[in-house]
């Protein structure tokens, strides 16, 4: 069964660190290494789209120290990894509300998106300050033109951050929780869900393949009869 778009809820960094008596920030550092390995694997497998949940609109509730660390890590990664994305022919896009992010991150995101736009391999969508509800409300604010009674789902989709990107086929969530946590609410309407207890820093390409194997065995009916 073909897979066009995988969305990953990279959860469990904090617990991974706590289990080792380390600061939560250490878990985020390790988690970034995992993210790179999984993106590389997706690119090697020619998966057209992978979306990573990096920072949610609700994650601002964390301590100033943790939020500041995450923002620093994101900025450093974007600045340092252009060569990684280029070497793998990966196109990078941002989804989420950019305006509320630190100015330097907005600049880096625009820069990496522009510099990788011409690549034809996997597209990586980085969900940063992303919330599914926020995305839908921002889309509604962009409505104009057609009378509302004539608005179609296809029209509305063009106003989402993911305009032009196919719907999610498979959501992978590490860290054991079985919830979406405000991730891609519209785009996951018919996605298959895969949850594993493995914490994100421990998640390997082999675990990723297990998720794909599980997906391959699903029967997707989309409300019909198969």
**Binding site partner of 30, from Mg ion, ligand IPE, none, Cβ cut-off 5-8 A by kind:** none
**Binding site partner of 44, from Mg ion, ligand IPE, none, Cβ cut-off 5-8 A by kind:** none
Q: Which residue is nearest to ligand IPE (CB)?
A: 14
Q: Does 27 interact with Mg ion (rule: CB under 5 A)? A: no
Closer residue to Mg ion (CB): 146 or 179? 179
Closer residue to Mg ion (CB): 107 or 198? 198
The binder of ligand IPE chosen from 96, 131, 132, 175 (CB under 6 A): 175
Is 24 in contact with 7 (CB distance < 8 Å)? no
Residue where the block lists tokens 């509300």: 97
Q: Does 203 interact with ligand IPE (rule: CB under 6 A)? A: no
CB of 31 to ligand IPE, least distance (A): 6
The binder of Mg ion chosen from 6, 8, 9, 11 (CB under 5 A): 11
Query: Would you mind telling me the total number of residues written for the chain in this entry?
Result: 226
| CB neighbour burial string for 172-211, b if at least 16 within 10 angstroms, e if fewer | bbbbeeeebebbbebbbeebbbbbbebbbbbbeeebbeeb
* Active-site annotation holds for 169: no
Torsion-angle region of residue 49: left (phi > 0), alpha (psi -120 to 50) or beta? beta
Residue 210 to residue 91: CA distance in whole angstroms: 25
Which residues ranging from 117 to 136 are in contact with ligand IPE (CB under 6 A)? Answer: none
Question: Which helix (H) or strand (E) covers residue 170, if one does?
Answer: strand 170-173
β-partners of residue 95 are 127
CB of 128 to ligand IPE, least distance (A): 9
The binder of ligand IPE chosen from 5, 6, 7, 11 (CB under 6 A): 11
Closer residue to ligand IPE (CB): 58 or 155? 58
Q: Does 56 interact with ligand IPE (rule: CB under 6 A)? A: yes
Calculate the dihedral angle through the C-alpha atoms of 94, 96, 101, 103, rounding to the nearest 10 degrees: 40
Tally: H helices and E strands in the chain: 8, 6
* Active-site annotation holds for 11: yes
Give 59's DSSP letter: G
**Binding site partner of 197, from Mg ion, ligand IPE, none, Cβ cut-off 5-8 A by kind:** none
Active site residues: 11, 59
């Amino acid at each position: 069964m073909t897979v066009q778009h995988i969305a990953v809820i990279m959860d469990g960094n904090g617990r991974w660190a706590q289990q080792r008596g380390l600061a939560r920030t250490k878990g985020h550092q390790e988690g970034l290494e995992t993210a790179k390995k999984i993106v590389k694997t997706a690119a090697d497998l020619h998966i057209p789209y992978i979306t990573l949940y990096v920072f949610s609109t609700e994650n601002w509730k964390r301590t100033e120290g943790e939020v500041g660390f995450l923002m620093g890590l994101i900025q450093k990664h974007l600045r340092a990894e252009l060569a990684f994305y280029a070497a793998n022919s990966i196109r990078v896009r941002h989804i989420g509300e950019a305006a509320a992010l630190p100015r330097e991150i907005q600049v880096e995101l625009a820069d990496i998106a522009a510099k990788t736009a011409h690549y034809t391999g996997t597209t990586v969508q980085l969900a940063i300050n992303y919330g599914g509800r926020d995305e839908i409300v921002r889309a509604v604010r962009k409505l104009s033109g057609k009378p509302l009674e004539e608005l179609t789902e296809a029209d509305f989709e063009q106003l989402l951050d993911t305009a032009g990107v196919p719907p999610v086929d498979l959501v992978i969530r590490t860290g054991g929780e079985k919830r979406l946590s405000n991730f891609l609410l519209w785009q996951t309407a018919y996605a298959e869900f895969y949850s594993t207890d493995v914490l994100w820093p421990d998640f390997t390409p082999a675990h990723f393949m297990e998720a794909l194997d599980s997906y391959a065995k699903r029967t997707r009916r989309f409300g019909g009869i198969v």
